[in-house]
């Protein structure tokens, strides 16, 4: 089975103050997508697809990659659901039968290594994290809270803004999506082709459409370690992490 990694790297980084997906996070000058794709290569992934902004395409193409990396340009800010659809279409065109999904500005540790056997079994759904693992000490964050049934199926996804560490106990440390998912070639049969009234739709919107269609999406608390940059102040913490590892 040909397995790909799709990274969404077309965000504007408004709270960070720029394109954080391109910021160096180690002494070698690597950015988070480079570290993530290196991990995916070590886990046995065959290729990667990066969804990028048009003005950054040349910078991505100039990098050296450990596995074949292909690029899709998201011309306008139509949301993560639209960006992922572009990436999935490219992955399908490349012959991938399944793919993992992540953000270009989030580092997921050993998640891709752990997720590979799930993909090989045809498992699709959310690779979830507890809220306690994905808060920033430098300000509030937006997270998508996941509801699951007793048999582990996704029953709902609710986006919450302005979450802080104080909300961990208040909400009971729920499982959340960090846009880490596993999907396969059948996903495009039900994934919406476009937007909302604002012209933008996110992955949670698309996933809710799948739930409404009776698609059995699973939830597994597979996420253990997460490093991300929401605010500029997070960069020092991320740099220190990669200096230790």
Q: How far apart are CA 10 and CA 208, in angstroms?
A: 23
Task: 165-173: list long-range contacts, CB under 8 Å, 24+ apart.
Answer: 165/132, 165/135, 165/137, 167/131, 168/131, 168/132, 168/135, 171/131, 171/145, 173/130, 173/131, 173/132
Query: So where are the chain's domains?
Result: 3-244
Q: How far apart are CA 120 and CA 122, in angstroms?
A: 5
What is the per-residue pLDDT for 18?
Answer: 57
What is the per-residue pLDDT for 13?
Answer: 53
Give DSSP secondary structure letters for the chain.
Answer: --EEEEEEE----TTTTS-GGGS--STT---HHHHHHHHHHHHT--EEEEEE-GGGHHHHHTS--SS-EEEEE--S---HHHHHHHHHHHHHHTT-SEEEEEETTEE-TTHHHHHHHHHHTT--EEE-EEGGGS--TTS-EEEEEEEE-TTSBEEEEEEEEEE-THHHHHTTS-EEE-S-EEEEGGGGGTS--S--TTS---HHHHHHHHHHTT---EEE------EE-SSTTHHHHHHHHHHH-
pLDDT truncated to tens, each residue of the chain (245 aa)?
999 999 999 976 555 545 789 999 999 999 999 999 999 999 999 999 999 999 999 999 999 999 999 999 999 889 999 999 999 999 999 999 999 999 999 999 999 999 999 999 999 999 999 999 999 888 899 999 999 999 999 999 999 999 999 999 999 999 999 999 999 999 999 999 875 455 678 999 999 999 999 999 999 999 989 998 878 888 888 999 999 98
What is the per-residue pLDDT for 139?
Answer: 87
pTM here? 0.94
Domain 3-244 annotated CATH 3.90.550.10: yes
Please report where in the chains the tokens 């992490």 appear, as a residue. 241
């Amino acid at each position: 089975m040909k397995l790909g990694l799709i990274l969404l790297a077309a965000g504007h980084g408004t709270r960070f103050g720029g394109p954080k997906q391109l910021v160096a996070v180690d002494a070698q000058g690597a950015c988070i997508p480079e570290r993530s794709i290196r991990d995916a290569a070590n886990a046995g992934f065959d290729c990667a697809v990066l969804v990028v902004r048009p003005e950054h395409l040349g910078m991505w193409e100039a990098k050296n990659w450990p596995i074949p990396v292909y690029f899709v340009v998201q011309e306008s800010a139509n949301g993560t659901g639209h960006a992922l659809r572009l990436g999935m279409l490219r992955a399908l065109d490349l012959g991938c039968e399944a793919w993992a999904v992540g953000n270009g500005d989030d580092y997921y540790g050993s998640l891709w290594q752990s997720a590979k056997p799930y993909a090989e079994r045809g498992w699709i759904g959310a690779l979830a994290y507890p809220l306690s693992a994905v808060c920033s000490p430098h300000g509030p964050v937006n997270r998508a809270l996941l509801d699951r049934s007793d048999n582990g199926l996704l029953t709902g996804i609710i986006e919450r803004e302005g979450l802080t560490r104080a909300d961990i106990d208040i909400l009971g440390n729920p499982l959340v999506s960090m846009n880490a998912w596993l999907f396969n070639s059948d996903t495009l049969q039900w994934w919406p082709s476009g937007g909302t009234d604002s012209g933008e739709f996110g992955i949670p919107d698309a996933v809710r459409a799948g739930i409404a269609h009776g698609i059995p999406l699973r939830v597994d608390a597979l996420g253990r370690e997460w490093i991300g940059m929401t605010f500029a102040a997070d960069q020092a913490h991320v740099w220190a992490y990669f200096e230790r590892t």
